[in-house]
Amino acid sequence: MSNYKIGLGVTGGIAAYKAVEVMRALQKAGCEVRVAMTRHATEFVQPLTFRALSDAEVIVDDYDPENSDPIAHVNFSQNIDLLLIVPATANIIAKFANGVADDFLTSTYLASTAPVMIAPAMNTTMWEQPATQRNIARLRADGVHFVEPISGELACKTVGTGKLEDVENIVRQAMSLLVQSPKPKVQSSDDPSIDIGPWTLDLTGEHFLITVGGTREAIDPVRFISNHSSGKMGFAMAEAAAARGAEVTVVAGVTAVEPSTHINVVRAISASEMHKAVSERLSDATVFVGAAAVADYAPANAADAKIKKDGRETMTLELKKTPDILAEVASRRHDGLIVVGFAAETNKVIDYARSKLEKKKLDIVVANDVSKPGAGFNADTNIISILTADSAEDFSIMPKREAADKVCDAIIKFREEHGR
């Protein structure tokens, strides 16, 4: 078993009951969990619930006369391998971001040197508030990891982003961070025999290089050609692979979303920049995933100055083919590299995807019918089919993160069957 020590911080939101499930799952994975609650959290779940299930004192107030340790925030914070906050309210995020230490949990955050992971849950408007997003950006810059909230029906009966991520994904991401952390308090993260129960790190030892988002091809200094890729699918791939123990490098073009902080992202805006960034990093990779929507053509001669209309009714742009990054990676592949492409299609989806698999010499192709609602560009969900030379599997609509796990499963299966 893992024997990691986790400080679980619970704050006052309706999703506080989910923290009980997170604690149980972490315990199943062999972690020792100590719980700290804010005063408001105790309005939603009784400390006794956590106390009975963790067999340990639950601290709400440092100064409570019943608290056996007068400097609990220091002792607690220095004996954990991870401080995990589930759920995190906008209020606790604001306090952490500003160094406020007015209760046990906020003092613990300040006194801790352990990695911190925050799983927020709140109403969509509160989540989207510039103040909340500013605080999150500040915490990310401080090295705090976030388990992004998902979209769904919220306690206030509205539908939008702000729902706590699934317990399974929170625990996966927490375990992945622990295993990648440099100095676990109890057991070496390098220990290959580490057993984290049901949260399998079945991609440990793999290094994923993933292209994400859309590229932007300059026409002149103010205009460009691009596409609707948000980066959601590619970042979901990165997060799924990292959560399962893989080392991950992302080469990202233009994206509408950000990845979680523990993903290493290199920005490359045009197809040729992306091509260069991939070429420079390919030799370390064991799996290449082309999830980006790379422009197939770019203006042949981008103007140095803004092109003037000069009364012209039409304008002709000469385009030239961009480097096909995926095809080149497959043709130059080194031993052991698995090459996965995506195919965004609107008709004859499987036929065209299979033809890409063959022409580009891919190991796996993930087809998405981008004409279907809930699939493809900018959606939070996708409808995918996973093809190899001798198999094809169709999946119904699911969150992009779940679809990414299906692709990871296919990569593991391919590795088992083909050894590369």
Q: Kindly state whether residue 377 participates in binding ligand PMT, applying the rule CB under 6 A.
A: yes
Cis bond upstream, residue 87 (ω within 30): yes
Q: Answer for the pair 392, 385: CB distance below 8 angstroms, yes or no.
A: yes
77 interacts with ligand PMT by CB under 6 A: no
The answer to whether 151 and 2 have CB atoms below 8 angstroms apart is no
Residue nearer to ligand PMT on the CB measure, 211 or 388: 211
CB-wise, 242 or 271, nearer to ligand PMT? Answer: 271
Gyration radius (Cα) of the chain, Å: 24
By beta-carbon proximity to ligand PMT, the closer residue of 80 and 289 is 289
From CA 290, how far away is CA 136, in angstroms rounded? Answer: 29
The CA distance from 11 to 88, in Å, is 6
DSSP 143: T
Angle between helices 47-54 and 16-28 in degrees, nearest 10:
0
Q: What gap in Å lies between CA 270 and CA 171, rounded to an integer? A: 36
Sheet of 82-88, strand order:
32-37, 5-10, 82-88, 116-120, 145-146
Q: Does 269 bind ligand PMT (CB under 6 A)?
A: no
Q: Is 370 in the site for ligand PMT (CB under 6 A)?
A: yes
> What is the number of H-type helices and E-type strands within the chain?
14, 21
Question: How near is the Cβ of 115 to ligand PMT at its closest, in Å?
Answer: 28
- Give residue 140's identity as a one-letter amino acid code: R
Specify the length of the chain in residues: 420
Binds ligand PMT (CB under 6 A): choice among 290, 349, 364, 399: 290
Binding mask 96-135 for ligand PMT (x = CB under 6 A): ----------------------------------------
Candidate segments 106-114, 163-171, 371-379, 412-420, binder of ligand PMT by CB under 6 A:
371-379
Question: Which residue's beta carbon is nearest to the bound ligand PMT?
Answer: 290
| 308 burial level (CB within 10 Å; 0-12, 13-18, 19+) | exposed
Stretch that binds ligand PMT, among 16-24, 62-70, 174-182, 341-349 (CB under 6 A): 341-349
Taking the complex as a whole, the smallest distance from the CB of residue 239 to ligand PMT amounts, in Å, to 13
The CB-of-342 to ligand PMT minimum distance in angstroms stands at: 4
376 touches ligand PMT (CB under 6 A): yes
Question: Would you count residue 344 as binding ligand PMT (CB under 6 A)?
Answer: yes
31 is catalytic: no
- Spell out, one character per residue from 213 to 232, where the chain touches ligand PMT: x when CB under 6 A holds, - when not: x---------------xxxx
The least CB distance from residue 392 to ligand PMT, in Å, is 17
Name the maximum alpha-carbon separation found in the chain: 82
In whole angstroms, give the CA distance from residue 157 to residue 148. 20
Among residues 271, 282, 349, 408, the one that binds ligand PMT under rule CB under 6 A:
271
Note whether 200 and 282 are within 8 A (CB).
no
When binding is defined by CB under 6 A, the residue of 85, 292, 386, 404 that contacts ligand PMT is 292
Pick between residue 60 and residue 365 the one whose CB is nearest to ligand PMT: 365
Alpha helices in 148-303 (DSSP H): 167-180, 232-243, 271-281
210 near ligand PMT, rule: CB under 6 A: no
Annotated catalytic sites, by residue? 156
Interface residue list for ligand PMT (CB under 6 A): 211, 213, 229-234, 271, 290-294, 296, 322, 324-326, 341-344, 356, 368, 370, 376-378
